[in-house]
């Protein structure tokens, strides 16, 4: 055996060419010895190999359970290959379908002339609003985010853009003594609650739900613009004539997307928030951290706004900065598209 033969023997033994077809039931012919390989060694090892077992070096090693499985040429069982093939075909067909629908929607969206104020859409979608958003809200875990926000509401509370009252289950009605998030003694819970929405159909749904949930607690419901809300107009309970009226907490969830001038509305809400301890609590949706997602939101925004009454590509952070309110807390989730803010009226500069 020369040097070349020495190199060839282990290579041939390690990587045999296994035929890619069903295993034959016929007794396999003993392999012909290669004229170039070392005759006694090669022939002896192959003859000792059981039928249908490729003559690999592994066969000389201790047997493992895997070694008993008949090996196909590529090592992937045909069933798995069929499954992978069907899956790949299904996924690529679905992606193709999504892409085709996306491009069709984008070109349709570009031809639409959608006004900035699309808030009237809610008058017609009010009856189906809950059913429309239920699944996506569940998938995004928005129930918990609503609860965590609304639990902070205390004192005289106003919820603007209340929609169909999706935050109602999370209010703690009635005041009680307790401790705040920093462990300090505080009065918790709501003394009074007021709900407003531009759409009378939406407010009617909130009122109906509230009266079922809290039949004994008085509340005010009004169809009006959040940008023009006035505490004295709302006949909030316990207000004496002539005294300045503020809300201790103002709540708004998913409302900035449907207003024609969201920064001006926030500014107005700041003016009716109790100047020292009052808070505005927001849970909103809008632009993402990522350009690729913002491009999709931008491309589909006119069609989405026209259908659902909501501009989903707004920069919520920019709107908040523009309002001039002070940011107490800011948080984002879902690739940056869900925004939570705790705001307060701008504090007077100390001399």
Ligand X SMILES: C[S@@+](CC[C@H](N)C(=O)[O-])C[C@H]1O[C@@H](n2cnc3c(N)ncnc32)[C@H](O)[C@@H]1O
Applying CB under 6 A, the residues found at the interface with ligand X are 119, 122, 160-163, 166, 197-199, 202, 225-227, 253-255, 258-259, 310
Q: 150 and 167 in contact (C-beta within 8 Å)?
A: yes
Complete DSSP assignment for 118-172 = -TTHHHHHHHHHHHHHHHHHHHTTHHHHHHHHHTT--EEEEESS-TTTTTGGG--
Complex with ligand X: residue 13 or 226, whichever CB lies closer: 226
Instruction: Tell the smallest beta-carbon distance from residue 228 to ligand X (Å).
Output: 8
Provide long-range contacts, Cβ within 8 A and 24+ apart, for 310-313: 310/118, 310/254, 310/257, 310/258, 311/116, 311/118, 311/257, 311/258, 312/257, 312/285, 312/286, 313/286, 313/287
Beta carbon nearer to ligand X, 105 or 225: 225
Q: Among residues 197 and 248, whose Cβ is nearest to ligand X?
A: 197
Residue 233, classed as helix, strand or coil, is coil
Nearer to ligand X, 55 or 286 (CB): 286
- Name the packing angle between helices 121-139 and 142-150 (round to 10°): 110
Q: Taking the complex as a whole, how short is the minimal distance between the CB of residue 260 and ligand X, in angstroms?
A: 7
Q: Which is nearer to ligand X, 109 or 259 (CB)?
A: 259
Comparing CB distances to ligand X, the nearer of 198 and 219 is 198
- Residue number with the shortest CB distance to ligand X? 163
Q: Is the dihedral of CA 109, 110, 115, 117 positive or negative?
A: positive
Angle between helices 291-308 and 78-111 (to 10 degrees): 60
d(CA 170, CA 122): 23
Of 138, 175, 348, 162, nearest to 254 (Cα)?
Answer: 162
> In angstroms, what is the minimal distance from the CB of 320 to ligand X?
17
Q: Nearer to ligand X by C-beta: 248 or 284?
A: 284
Q: Where are the alpha helices (DSSP H) in the chain?
A: 3-14, 39-48, 78-111, 121-139, 142-150, 200-213, 262-271, 291-308, 316-323
Least distance (Å) from ligand X to the CB of residue 318? Answer: 18
Which residues have C-beta within 8 Å of that of residue 124, sequence separation ≥ 6? Answer: none
55 vs 163 by CB, closer to ligand X? 163
For residue 75, the minimal CB distance to ligand X (Å) is 53
User: Whole-number minimum distance, CB 198 to ligand X, in Å?
Assistant: 4
To ligand X, the closest distance from the beta carbon of 171 in angstroms equals 13
Instruction: Identify which of residues 78 and 141 has a Cβ nearer to ligand X in the complex.
Output: 141
Picking from 278, 243, 255, 282, the residue whose alpha carbon sits closest to that of residue 148 is 282
Phi, psi angles (nearest 5°) of residue 229: -70, 140
Between CA 265 and CA 339 the distance in angstroms is 17
Kindly state the smallest distance separating residue 166's Cβ from ligand X, in Å: 4
Minimum distance, C-beta of residue 182 to ligand X, in the bound complex (Å): 28
């Amino acid at each position: 055996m020369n040097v070349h033969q020495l190199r060839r023997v282990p290579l041939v033994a390690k990587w045999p060419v296994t035929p890619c077809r069903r295993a034959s039931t016929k007794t396999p012919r003993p392999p012909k010895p290669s004229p170039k390989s070392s005759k006694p060694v090669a022939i002896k090892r192959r003859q000792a190999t059981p039928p249908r077992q490729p003559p690999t070096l592994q066969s000389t090693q201790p047997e493992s359970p895997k070694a008993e499985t008949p090996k196909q040429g590529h090592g992937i069982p045909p069933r798995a290959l069929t499954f992978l093939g069907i899956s790949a075909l299904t996924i690529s067909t679905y992606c193709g379908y999504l892409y085709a629908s996306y491009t069709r929607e984008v070109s349709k969206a570009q031809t639409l002339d959608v006004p900035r104020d699309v808030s009237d859409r809610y008058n017609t979608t009010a009856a189906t609003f809950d059913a429309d958003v239920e699944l996506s809200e569940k998938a995004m875990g928005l129930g918990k985010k609503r609860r965590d926000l609304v639990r902070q509401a205390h004192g005289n509370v106003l919820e603007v853009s209340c929609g169909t009252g999706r935050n109602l289950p999370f209010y703690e009605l009635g005041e009680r003594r307790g401790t705040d998030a920093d462990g300090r003694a505080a009065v918790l819970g709501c003394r009074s609650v007021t709900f407003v929405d531009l759409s009378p159909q939406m407010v009617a749904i909130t009122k109906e739900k509230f009266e079922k949930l809290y039949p004994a607690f008085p509340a005010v419901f009004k169809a009006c613009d959040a940008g023009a809300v006035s505490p004295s107009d709302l006949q909030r309970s316990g207000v004496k004539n002539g005294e300045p009226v503020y809300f201790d907490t103002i709540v708004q969830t998913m409302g900035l997307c449907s207003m024609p001038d969201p920064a001006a509305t926030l500014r107005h809400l700041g003016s009716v928030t109790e100047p020292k301890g009052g808070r505005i609590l927001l849970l909103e949706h809008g632009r993402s951290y990522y350009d690729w997602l913002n491009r999709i939101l931008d491309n589909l925004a006119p069609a989405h706004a026209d259908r659902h009454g909501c501009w989903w590509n707004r920069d919520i952070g920019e709107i908040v900065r523009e309002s001039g309110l002070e940011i107490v807390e800011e948080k984002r989730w879902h690739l940056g598209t869900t925004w939570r803010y705790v705001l307060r009226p701008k504090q007077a500069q100390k001399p």
